[in-house]
Amino acid sequence: MSNKWEEILISSTPKAWVNKALKSLDILLIDHAHCEKKAATTAISLIHKYPHHNLADLLSPLAREELLHFEQVLDLIKKQGFKYRNLKSGKYAQTLYESASNKEPEKFQDILIICALIEARSCERFHALIPYLPSSLRNFYTKLYRAEARHCDLYLDLFTKIFKIDWTERLKELSQVESAFINMKDDLFRFHSGY
């Protein structure tokens, strides 16, 4: 298994975030469910926005997989005795999307890189949490971690397949934005928040 996610992130999750997560397992799981739902929505909206790139072959199965994750997290929320509800969104994804170009094809290129970065950060956060989680959650997050690592590769491979150019330089810029956000103090604890 390749580990592109480790290569594309320039910083690790601060320990303070892990401590907050362990004290707020309900918010962690509920926001994680929202992340899975949003990952499916993003994949579907890309298929819709860029029909000429035939994204459905790869992104429709990905969207189905994310919805399956969503259902699995919902189940876990119930089993832990928590209640699923809507939460105010964090600013992580918004901050990244605001850094994307607003002209094509750079916009779509940036979105593919941003999707890869979000998947990569999910992997990294699962990795950071797994040693401290109760066993019921640990097994699930280990399985999920592998799926999200595959999604990170898929978005970068899609970039290469469509544009036939190197993503490294642009990735460096966007991963700076990503890392700056993760290393900021944040009053709102979320799966992808600062600490």
Residues within the interface to Fe ion (CB under 5 A): 36, 39, 66, 69, 119, 148, 151
CB of 130 to Fe ion, least distance (A): 15
CB of 110 to Fe ion, least distance (A): 18
Q: Which is nearer to Fe ion, 71 or 98 (CB)?
A: 71
Q: Which residue has the tokens 């119930």?
A: 78
- Distance CA(51)–CA(181), nearest Å, equals 32
As to burial, measured by CB atoms within 10 angstroms (0-12 exposed, 13-18 middle, 19+ buried), residue 171 is buried
Q: Which is nearer to Fe ion, 66 or 81 (CB)?
A: 66
As to burial, measured by CB atoms within 10 angstroms (0-12 exposed, 13-18 middle, 19+ buried), residue 33 is buried
CB of 118 to Fe ion, least distance (A): 8
Q: Which is nearer to Fe ion, 36 or 178 (CB)?
A: 36
Q: Which is nearer to Fe ion, 31 or 119 (CB)?
A: 119
Integer angstrom CA distances of residue 61 from 74, 87, 102, 119, 169:
20, 27, 28, 16, 29
Q: Which is nearer to Fe ion, 68 or 184 (CB)?
A: 68
DSSP string over 38-57: HHHHHHHHHHHH-GGGTTHH
CB of 140 to Fe ion, least distance (A): 11
CB of 193 to Fe ion, least distance (A): 18
